[in-house]
Amino acid sequence: MISSPVTTMEEMFERAEGHWLVLKYDGVPGVRLDARVLDRILAHDDNLVLSIDGFVLELPLLSGPTAARNIAQDLALFTRTAPITRVEAYDDAKRRLELTRRGRTENGALVLFVGDKDVYASADWIYIGDVRVCSIEELIDRAEQGKAIQMGGHVVRAAIVLLLLAAKRRAIEDPAVLSRRIREYERSASRE
């Protein structure tokens, strides 16, 4: 498990907005992570524990343990292991099933943003928008040291970008399991 330290900022917020984890600190553009890419999200003390395909990141929050619990509770509804109870999660599961049927994965596209720029990974590089910011090797080194990386003039915790790599490398989902989860939602929705 990698832990990513953070310094105290004067004005900030850490919260769930729909299916997004939003981290905004004074003077730094907000970072948004799509919780639908996560397998699980839990709160542990004042940390969020984020899991993708066996990769686990413990993300400290400045807002404290109550905020961590609330964020984890709000975003858990959108994770891949949660029962499908919302239309948004249902639509996302159907989209992922179609990708699975085509033998494709999401490859981590459009799951992490800094400000209004998406963060993505090629085979060897990390980009924010169209700007190449560091090698994957450098990203991993900085994350293991608990450091940040400069991304297009913005500072981002390197460890959170590792979630993008985990999503990109995720194995194709089991279509039988995904189909079962979709059918369960459809049955429960038809009873309402």
Tens of pLDDT along 114-170?
A: 888 888 888 899 988 888 989 999 999 999 998 888 766 677 888 999 998 888 887
pLDDT at res. 39: 92
pLDDT at res. 70: 97
d(CA 104, CA 116) in angstroms, rounded, equals 26
* Average pLDDT of the residues in 176-192: 88
Percent of the chain with pLDDT over 70: 90
Tens of pLDDT along 79-92?
A: 988 899 889 889 98
pLDDT at res. 183: 92
Residue 124 to residues 133, 145, 161, 167, Cα–Cα distance (Å)? 11, 20, 14, 15
pLDDT at res. 172: 72
pTM, rounded to two decimals: 0.82
Which residues 6+ apart lie within 8 Å of 145 measured at CB?
A: none
Tens of pLDDT along 134-145?
A: 999 999 999 999
pLDDT at res. 6: 46
Tens of pLDDT along 5-18?
A: 444 444 678 999 99
Tens of pLDDT along 20-40?
A: 999 988 777 789 999 999 999
φ, ψ of residue 68 to 5 degrees: the values are: -60, -45
pLDDT at res. 1: 53
pLDDT at res. 11: 60
88 Ramachandran zone, left/alpha/beta (phi>0; psi -120 to 50): alpha
φ, ψ of residue 65 to 5 degrees: the values are: -65, -35
d(CA 159, CA 190) in angstroms, rounded, equals 42
Consecutive H or E run containing 185: helix 175-191
Tens of pLDDT along 60-74?
A: 999 999 999 999 999
Higher pLDDT, residue 1 or 115? 115
The amino acid occupying position 30 is G
